Amino acid sequence: MFHVVDLKEMLTFAGQIEKSIMKSKYRTGRYLIFALTVTLLTGCGNKKVKTKEPSQVNNIAIDNGLRDRLAEFSSKPRTKGQFAFYVYDLTADKPVYGFNENKAISVASCLKLLSGVAGLHLLGTQYNYSTSIYTHGRIENGTLHGDVAFKGELDPQLNAPDLVMFAKALKKEGIKKMDGRFILDLLIKDPVKSEPHWYPWDLSFSRYGVLYKGAPRIMKELKYALRNQGISVADNQLVLGKVPQGSRCLFRFHRSIEPVIERMWKHSSNTQATSLLYTIGHRVSPHGSPTDAGVAYLRHFLREDLGQTDTSLVIHDGCGLCTYNHLSPVALTAILCYGYKDKSIYQMLNKYLSISGVDGTLRRELNDSKLRGKIHAKTGTLSHPYGISSLAGYCDGGNGHALAFSIVNTEMSVLDARVLQNRLCKALIAK
């Protein structure tokens, strides 16, 4: 049992010990013994004594030369349109410079930074999509006296040809037909839909994985895969339902979230981003609308985890096609700062953001000798009729400090916007 000791008594006792130490010949260790005594005494109570922690001031200075270059960049004449940017020194953990940095502007596909980082925070960087096939019953002479169940979750990259894997698993068991049901246990039964504000809707339905095309389409593709492997199944045997209790899993296919993130960030895939939004939505609200729940979570993450409470910030989808998505350069940079501080998320960002002049959506951008390979960033573009172009990512400054930045341009040609992005990046890395 712990003994509660009054703090005044502890300090008096400690003072007595200190006086005794001072009189002794072992003065070299007096301060250590004193500190240990106080620590031991103060740790004995069942009531914690709050002490004021010494303030830790970050004395790392930002690059004043960089700040001056950014100020000059912001003041130079440019094409008409909305223009805003923000630069943050990650090494010093301090802002460097901003221009219209709190202005909420359409950011196009840079919104995928939010959905990706929020999704990785919620699901984890080790998250795996799972698709499985089960049997329930006994097999005699090639006939399963019972049911087969296909459990499809939300793997965005599972396509119709992949269903052959599950048909082969049944064939390997010696199943040629069944006298029960072929049950489809699906998380979403309706096909994915375009969002109301996507205009024009340039998100091709054909590019979605088969699990996002609705139950009738999945039934059709599964029936084809089964018959292709010599397994007989009647149309009326295919039904929607749940995997029966006591079923045996024959085969399970896992897909890491990494290729989804790669296509979403490096290649700006709208289908992968929308699918991830569905995954987020289903995780936070299994029985609600995945789109509504996913968007609600992105708003929550922006507000609660990133501290971006400005009511002018608006989120309508997970991919950035909606022009009503409005984020400020400060908000975009806050996403990058959050990701930078999380080791596992930052590894994903560093690996799967496009690299200037090398790959992804930046393979033909920022590709001169000064910038090639030095910028890791997400692009955002909605050319017609909006003229929206954004860029947000990381680079090393001329002084070796890690920098996070974002620049957003609207109501100007994409070509003019990219000239500004090029100039900003050169200012960031200049020595």
Report CA-CA distances (Å) from 136 to 60, 147, 238: 64, 5, 15
Tell me the pLDDT of the chain averaged across its residues. 88
CB 234 within 8 Å of CB 220: no
pLDDT tens readout for residues 79-113: 889 999 999 999 999 999 999 999 999 999 999 99
- What pLDDT is recorded for position 309? 97
Give the integer Cα–Cα distance in Å for 106 and 328.
8
CA-CA-CA-CA torsion sign (343, 399, 111, 160): negative
Buried b (16+ CB within 10 A) or exposed e, 21-32: beeeeeeeeeee
- What pLDDT is recorded for position 224? 97
pLDDT tens readout for residues 197-227: 786 555 677 789 999 999 999 999 999 999 9
**Range from 62-71, 77-86, 371-380, 399-408 carrying the lowest mean pLDDT:** 77-86
Which residues lie closer than 8 Å to 25 by C-beta, 6 or more apart? none
**Range from 49-63, 69-83, 342-356 carrying the lowest mean pLDDT:** 49-63
What are the φ/ψ torsions at residue 427 (nearest 5 degrees)?
Answer: -65, -35
**pLDDT reading at 54 higher than 50:** no
- What pLDDT is recorded for position 70? 98
Q: pTM for this one? A: 0.85
Spatial strand order in the sheet of 82-89: 94-99, 82-89, 402-410, 388-396, 376-382, 354-355
Buried b (16+ CB within 10 A) or exposed e, 150-168: bbbbbbbbbebebbbebbb
Give the integer Cα–Cα distance in Å for 95 and 12.
47
Q: Is 109 helix (H, G, I), strand (E, B) or coil?
A: helix
